[in-house]
Amino acid sequence: MTAAGPADGRPAAPDAIIVNHTGLPHFWFQQAGPEGERLDVLVVRATFDFAAHGDVITLAREQCAVVAGDAYAGPASTDPLRAVIEEDGDLVPYKPGTDILVSGRARAPGGLACAQWLAGLRVGTLKKLVRLHGPRQFRKHAFGWRLGPACPVDSVCLDYRLAYGGCIDIAASLTRDGERDSVRHSGNPAGIGWLPTAGDYRHLGKAGRAFVARWVAGQQVLDAPQIEAPLDPVTHPCQGVPPQGLSAIARWCTPRVGYQGDFDAHWRANRYPLLPDNFDPRYFQNAPADMVVTPHLRGDESVTMTGLLPEKTDMVLPGTMLIVVVRLASGRSEASIPLLDTLRFDLERRQVSMVWRTHFYHDDPVVEIAIAATSSVSAAAPAQTPVQA
């Protein structure tokens, strides 16, 4: 384990000596707040192995480093709307609540192939369920679309490319301004099984509208979503329901994109380069809205997984609390309790990562930092030597 975090070009908060008694990976960096204020941010990440039978999770032998930026699966560099977040980054200044995220492949109960099953988890009082299906298709018939049966499978990837959504590209020659455009499901342009209604593309010019109408009319078979809400199933391509999932949502998807505020003429004239007046810090949350816990989790909650692993799994979070004591340039000392704002369950590794975060205002810069933990984490991981951040 290294004391320094990711080397991604982000400015580190300068001249801080860090003594990390926990031995857990951390990163100390600088970022601007909504009003342009300089924030020195500390992130600490711990990785634990899954437990069973209601036992407390235990610290993993190998710790995962703090993650710099979002990592994507799909054509992120050439066609980002069709990419999804594979691993969300840790370097944000703060989160108003705790993100709960699940990644990997959900396994059918007992490891036996079946056409559909319920999958989800409970963390403390939060509960989230989705219905998973094997591959299935919509087919157009004389009287409309029909949803066919699903093929039995023993696992489904928790990937928004298998959830309801989609995107239709519009060539530059068909738009009013001569720029490429698209008609897309705002909540999940990377998804499947969606067709737009006329209202979804009325903003296009005549040529663009005609193209989309012809494209929609020409579709005969569509892959149908394999991930959906248990009580609001997708039965028609034009249903227009929100996508469902357990993993991180991209910054350009609703509702998340709406929290960034309006980058309009008022912003250019009065706020640039600051964030808009109506910026909402919920933009920093990666999880679906119904998987964000406010106030933040304590970190000692019970966890129950159903339909994610072949066996039903019960475990308990470790109750770890971090304490950070800093000395400021003015000579004053401050103590802070970092908040647990991210909880990630990796089904492939059978591991849980917990991320804590705190920040300090740079108008009185931090010059020394000591990080400690109140549980057995410190005993399980060797302390890190002082370093210059």
Whether the pLDDT of residue 10 is over 70: the answer is: no
Confidence (pLDDT) at 62 = 96
The residue assigned the tokens 């663009």 is: 208
In a domain, 163, yes or no: no
- For 159-186, what is the mean pLDDT? 94
In a domain, 23, yes or no: yes
Confidence (pLDDT) at 76 = 86
DSSP per residue, 94-137: --SSEEEEEESEEEPGGG--BSEEEEEEEETTEEEEEEEE-S-E
- How does pLDDT run across 341-355, given as a tens digit for each residue? 999 999 999 999 999
In a domain, 215, yes or no: no
How many structural domains does the chain have? 1
First to last CA, the chain: 15
- How does pLDDT run across 257-315, given as a tens digit for each residue? 999 999 999 999 999 999 999 999 999 999 999 999 999 999 999 999 999 999 999 99
DSSP-based three-state secondary structure for 148: coil
How sure is the predictor about 4, in pLDDT bands with cuts at 50, 70 and 90?
very low
The residue assigned the tokens 């489904």 is: 156
In a domain, 308, yes or no: yes
The residue assigned the tokens 């400690």 is: 372
- For 16-33, what is the mean pLDDT? 94
Q: Which amino acid is at 236?
A: H
Q: Which of 237, 10, 277 is nearest to 145 (CA)?
A: 237
- How does pLDDT run across 39-68, given as a tens digit for each residue? 999 999 999 999 999 999 999 999 999 999
CA distance 322 to 355: 11
How far, CA to CA in Å, does 380 sit from each of 46, 60, 61, 62?
Answer: 11, 9, 9, 11
- How does pLDDT run across 223-258, given as a tens digit for each residue? 999 999 999 999 999 998 999 999 999 999 999 999
- For 114-143, what is the mean pLDDT? 98
In a domain, 369, yes or no: yes
How far, CA to CA in Å, does 118 sit from each of 225, 267, 309?
Answer: 14, 45, 12
Q: Is the peptide bond before 365 cis (omega within 30 degrees of 0)?
A: no
Q: Quick one: what percent of the chain has pLDDT higher than 90? A: 86
- How does pLDDT run across 191-205, given as a tens digit for each residue? 999 999 999 999 999
In a domain, 379, yes or no: yes
In a domain, 36, yes or no: yes
Beginning with the edge strand found earlier in the chain, give each strand of the sheet holding 137-141 in spatial order. 144-147, 137-141, 221-223
Confidence (pLDDT) at 73 = 93
In a domain, 48, yes or no: yes
Domain span at 353: 1-69+90-104+285-389
Q: Which of 103, 120, 88, 127 is nearest to 290 (CA)?
A: 127
Residues with Cβ within 8 Å of residue 59, at least 6 apart in sequence: 46, 47, 48, 49, 318, 376, 377, 380, 381
- How does pLDDT run across 27-39, given as a tens digit for each residue? 999 998 888 899 9
**Out of 39-48, 353-362, 367-376, which region has the weakest mean confidence (pLDDT)?**
367-376
CA distance 161 to 74: 9
With a threshold of 0.85, does the pTM exceed it? yes
How sure is the predictor about 377, in pLDDT bands with cuts at 50, 70 and 90?
low
Please give the structure tokens belonging to residue 339. 């908040």
How far, CA to CA in Å, does 59 sit from each of 87, 109, 357, 381?
Answer: 21, 27, 19, 8
